[in-house]
Amino acid sequence: MSRIENRFVELRARKRKALIPYITAGDPALSTSLSLMHVMVDAGADILELGVPFSDPMADGPVIQAGYERALKHHVSLAHVLALVAEFRKTDTTTPVVLMGYLNPIEIMGYQRFAHEAAEAGVDGVLTVDLPPEEAHELIAALQPVQLDPIFLIAPTSHARRIALVSQVASGFVYYVSLKGVTGAHSLDVTSVADKLAEIRQHTTLPIGVGFGIKDAATAARIARIADAVVVGSALVRCIELNIEQEARMQSDIAGLLNAMREAMDESR
């Protein structure tokens, strides 16, 4: 059983939904990211999602794009991100870590080498936003032997055949993009999300995480009532952006937001 699967089993036993925060690795520095990973776990995070910096993040909005740019100023690479996870694992061996990013850095490293080094570092899942499941066979073949979960996106426009295909090849959880467009968008329609989740559940028994457009505790609670996991990204990266020179305040703001989300999600049960 993977760390991700085990975490969802634990959460179901406690009748609790997963809180999955996202930050970009190396934004604004790798040492800051390491501290924030521990801060987020202490604030109630169940699974961590780390963005791998990339120069052309086409699925991301301006807030996360700026986070990538800050990390790339320090030349943060995929190898640095794996080293960051390995450092985190020295003191946290239980919190699952998912890498979220784009295919190019993985292709450059090579699928087999990436899978081996990611597993050695303590990564648990991989989400490549620009790799459709129809073209993911080679990467999946590299991930599965080292027990890394391939995670895929389902969009509001995904048809039944695409949902069925994702359900066949994914493991860990399925990530539902609650809005059309890029990360950081708004106008979340929870009723529409609930309808789509019902459709997805006709094809899979995997947990379903919902991300994009979740910025505050109230929205997190509403999504927690219908999904298995709540993913928050842009709101956290915005906290980093606003406190670049004040790391203590950055940590406090991120912890405060996650604590509020965790409390609201638990109260919504």
**SS3 state at 79:** helix
Predicted TM-score (pTM) above 0.85: yes
Annotated catalytic residue 60: yes
User: Which residues make beta-bridge pairs with 174?
Assistant: 208
pLDDT in tens, 65-114: 999 999 999 999 999 999 999 999 999 999 999 999 999 999 999 999 99
Of the residues 27, 49, 124, 253, which is catalytic?
49
Q: Six-digit token pair at 266?
A: 């638990």
Q: In the sheet where 125-128 sits, what is the strand order?
A: 149-151, 125-128, 97-101, 48-51, 18-24, 229-232, 208-211, 174-177, 153-154
- What mean pLDDT comes out for the span 9-29? 97
268 against 219, higher pLDDT: 219
**SS3 state at 11:** helix
CA distance 135 to 148: 18
Q: Please, are residues 239 and 257 in contact by the beta-carbon 8 Å criterion? A: yes
What domains sit in the chain, N to C, each tagged with a CATH number? Answer: 3-267 (3.20.20.70)
At 188 the pLDDT is: 74
Nearest to 6 by CA among 57, 46, 33: 46
Nearest to 29 by CA among 248, 244, 252, 256: 244
Annotated catalytic residue 247: no
pLDDT in tens, 169-226: 999 999 999 875 444 445 678 889 999 999 999 999 999 999 988 999 999 999 999 9
pLDDT in tens, 21-56: 999 999 999 999 999 999 999 999 999 999 999 888
54 against 126, higher pLDDT: 126
Of the residues 46, 60, 117, 149, which is catalytic?
60
